[in-house]
Amino acid sequence: MVALVWQNAKLIAERESLDYIITDGSPGIGCPAISSLSGASLALLVTVPTLSGIHDYGHVIGVIATSAFLF
Protein backbone atom coordinates (compact mmCIF):
# COMPACT_ATOMS: atom_id res chain seq x y z
CA MET A 1 0.00 0.00 0.00
CA VAL A 2 2.76 2.45 0.92
CA ALA A 3 4.60 1.77 -2.34
CA LEU A 4 1.42 2.50 -4.31
CA VAL A 5 0.92 5.81 -2.50
CA TRP A 6 4.57 6.75 -3.20
CA GLN A 7 4.21 5.91 -6.89
CA ASN A 8 1.07 8.02 -7.22
CA ALA A 9 2.62 10.90 -5.27
CA LYS A 10 5.67 10.88 -7.55
CA LEU A 11 3.47 10.93 -10.65
CA ILE A 12 1.44 13.86 -9.32
CA ALA A 13 4.60 15.75 -8.29
CA GLU A 14 6.11 15.29 -11.73
CA ARG A 15 2.90 16.27 -13.50
CA GLU A 16 2.45 19.38 -11.34
CA SER A 17 6.20 20.27 -11.32
CA LEU A 18 6.34 20.02 -7.52
CA ASP A 19 9.71 19.94 -5.77
CA TYR A 20 8.67 18.10 -2.60
CA ILE A 21 6.47 15.25 -1.46
CA ILE A 22 5.59 15.34 2.22
CA THR A 23 4.24 12.12 3.71
CA ASP A 24 3.17 10.95 7.13
CA GLY A 25 4.36 7.46 7.96
CA SER A 26 3.00 4.80 10.24
CA PRO A 27 3.91 4.78 13.91
CA GLY A 28 6.31 2.15 15.15
CA ILE A 29 9.10 0.32 13.39
CA GLY A 30 7.22 -2.17 11.21
CA CYS A 31 7.36 -2.60 7.46
CA PRO A 32 4.90 0.26 6.70
CA ALA A 33 7.00 2.71 8.73
CA ILE A 34 10.23 1.63 7.04
CA SER A 35 8.56 1.59 3.62
CA SER A 36 7.36 5.16 4.12
CA LEU A 37 11.04 6.19 4.25
CA SER A 38 11.79 4.56 0.90
CA GLY A 39 13.04 7.13 -1.58
CA ALA A 40 13.14 9.88 1.02
CA SER A 41 16.02 12.34 1.06
CA LEU A 42 15.00 13.84 4.41
CA ALA A 43 13.13 12.53 7.44
CA LEU A 44 11.50 14.37 10.32
CA LEU A 45 10.76 12.05 13.22
CA VAL A 46 8.22 12.82 15.91
CA THR A 47 7.71 10.58 18.91
CA VAL A 48 5.85 10.50 22.18
CA PRO A 49 7.94 10.70 25.36
CA THR A 50 7.22 7.15 26.50
CA LEU A 51 9.57 4.20 26.81
CA SER A 52 8.08 2.49 23.76
CA GLY A 53 8.09 5.72 21.74
CA ILE A 54 11.73 6.40 22.54
CA HIS A 55 12.61 2.75 21.86
CA ASP A 56 10.96 2.86 18.42
CA TYR A 57 12.58 6.23 17.73
CA GLY A 58 16.01 4.69 18.34
CA HIS A 59 15.26 1.84 15.95
CA VAL A 60 14.11 4.19 13.18
CA ILE A 61 17.24 6.30 13.65
CA GLY A 62 19.24 3.09 13.24
CA VAL A 63 17.41 2.24 10.01
CA ILE A 64 18.03 5.71 8.64
CA ALA A 65 21.69 5.74 9.70
CA THR A 66 22.43 2.37 8.07
CA SER A 67 20.70 3.10 4.80
CA ALA A 68 20.98 5.37 1.81
CA PHE A 69 18.73 8.01 3.41
CA LEU A 70 21.71 10.03 4.61
CA PHE A 71 23.94 11.65 2.02
- Residues 11-68 pLDDT 10s: 999 999 999 988 887 788 888 788 778 778 888 888 999 999 999 999 888 888 887 6
- Give the global pTM: 0.67
The answer to the question of residue 3 being in a domain is: no
- Predicted confidence (pLDDT) at residue 71 exceeds the cutoff of 60: no
Domains identified in the chain, total number: 1
Q: What is the pLDDT of residue 34?
A: 80
Q: How far is residue 47 from each of residues 10, 14, 54, 68, 69, measured CA to CA in Å? A: 27, 31, 7, 22, 19
The answer to the question of residue 15 being in a domain is: no
Q: What is the pLDDT of residue 12?
A: 96
- Domain extent, residue 56, equals 24-71
Q: What is the pLDDT of residue 69?
A: 54
Q: What is the pLDDT of residue 26?
A: 78
In whole angstroms, what is the distance from residue 48 CA to residue 1 CA? 25
In whole angstroms, what is the distance from residue 34 CA to residue 58 CA? 13
